[in-house]
Structure formats: C-alpha cells, structure tokens
Amino acid sequence: MSIILEQGPVKIVVSGDSISRGVVYDENKKKYTILEENYVELLRDKLNGIVHNASRFGSTLIKGIQKLKNNIFNDKPDIVLIEYGGNDCDFNWDEIAKNPDAIHLPRTDFQTFEKALFETVEFVRKNKSIPVLMNLPPLNADRYLNWISKNNPVAQENILKWLGSVTKIYWWQERYNSVIQKIAEETKTLCIDIRGAFLRFPDFTELLCIDGIHPNKEGHMVIANKIIDFIKGEYNFLLKNHFTPTGLCTD
C-alpha cells in the first residue's frame, strides 16, 4: 500500500445500493431523499484520496457490478468498497400481498448472490484493485412489515401468511449477510463489520429510518466511524492528520 501512496492520490470506488448512495426517508417531506451527511461524504472529508460513489438506489449486486465493469475501471481504482445484499434479498411485497399462496422469489436468489459476490471479488482483484466487503446493517422486522404492507391490515395479514412469522424477515436478511461473511473468509477478503457496529447499541433501531431498513443520519455516522476504525487498522496513511472518529457513544 505504501507504493500506492507514492504513486499519487489513492482512488477509492464505492459500489453499492441506496445505503451507500445516502438515501434516507424524510418523515417531514414524506419521501426518500439523499442525506448530505451520508457515510460516503463523511469519509470523503477524512481521507487522503479520491472517492467516487458509484452506488445507486435500488441496485442489486448483479446490476451494480455490471456498471462497475462497464465504467468504473476506466478510473483504475486502488480500492473498491462493495456494499450489496439489501435489495438482493428483497421480494415484490405487493405481489405477495395480492397472492400469498403463490411461489415468490427474491430479486437475487441465494445461490446466485453467493456466486456473483465471489466472482465480483475475483474480478476486482484481477483488475489489480483491492476489494473490501461491507456486511449488512440489521433491519427492524416489525417496522419493515408495516412499511411494505403500507399499514394495510389485509396486506399485512397476507404477507404474514406467506412469511409464517415476522421474524423470518430478519432471518432471511441474515442469510444473505452470512454469505458476505463466508465469501470474505473463503477469498481472504477484508470485510467491515457494519452489522456488529449497529448491534453494539442497546437499541439499534434508533439508527434506522421509519421504514426499518435504511440507516438514518445517526446510522450513517456509525457506518462512517466503523469504516474509519477499519482504515486506521489497515491503511492508516489514508487518513488526514491521523483522524480519530467521534460521534455516537454506545455506553
């Protein structure tokens, strides 16, 4: 990594979904907006390097990595931060609410997600960049159920009929999170434990928007601080003035 430093500014690409894009739900405006103090912008202010955010709202791993292959490697990044899974494990909840007895599949099935993530890590390495994975922040299953059912009792009843239990929402997302951990271990890829950072809080739901899944402003602070802690341990030279993260306290 010292060679990268000598060659000029380090280039970092963030490839992810709406979390990395900085999307939050504004309860006053009643719509999704981009948080100016999102974790990528917080990092940009603290790093010695060029940060390109290639993340998009609603992006799955396959869609996001295709964009990475087509465009981003023209910039020849030194590090690629990879954050996917939240959309991949999601379902068409409106269809489930209409027909809970039918078979419904996630946007990216479990095996495809695992294979694609493995291939993504290998692709990044073959292009002489360093892949760094991020795992998933935990979601609030009850809040998310209210959100996807639009607080409609009939829709909620049908979704629960298909699920079997509201806890299955958390369990299903945890399965995809476990794949990220597995691929990190199998490929010896660095992985930033965002989920662990959230779960250290007595009530991690305070770090989530009303939809139960997108981190709010405080959640983005937690993500930024966790990544900075990671950088301090692995690539300390990237931090301006040996920056020490501050912000929320879990005590």
Condensed to tens digits (0 to 9), the pLDDT of residues 92-134 reads 999 999 999 999 999 999 999 999 999 999 999 999 899 999 9
Strand ranges, E, within 156-223: 190-192
Which residue ranges of the chain lie beneath pLDDT 70?
A: 1-8, 71-72, 242-251
CA angle (235, 190, 221) in 5-degree steps: 70
Predicted pLDDT of residue 246: 45
CA atoms in the 13 A half-sphere facing the CB of 193: 8
Predicted pLDDT of residue 4: 55
Q: Give the whole-angstrom CA distance, residue 210 versus residue 143.
A: 7
Predicted pLDDT of residue 7: 53
| Exposed / middle / buried, residue 58 (Cβ in 10 Å: 0-12, 13-18, 19+) | middle
Nearest to 80 by CA among 192, 172, 179: 192
Structural tokens at position 15: 């490839």
Ordered domains of the chain (ranges, CATH) = 2-234 (3.40.50.1110)
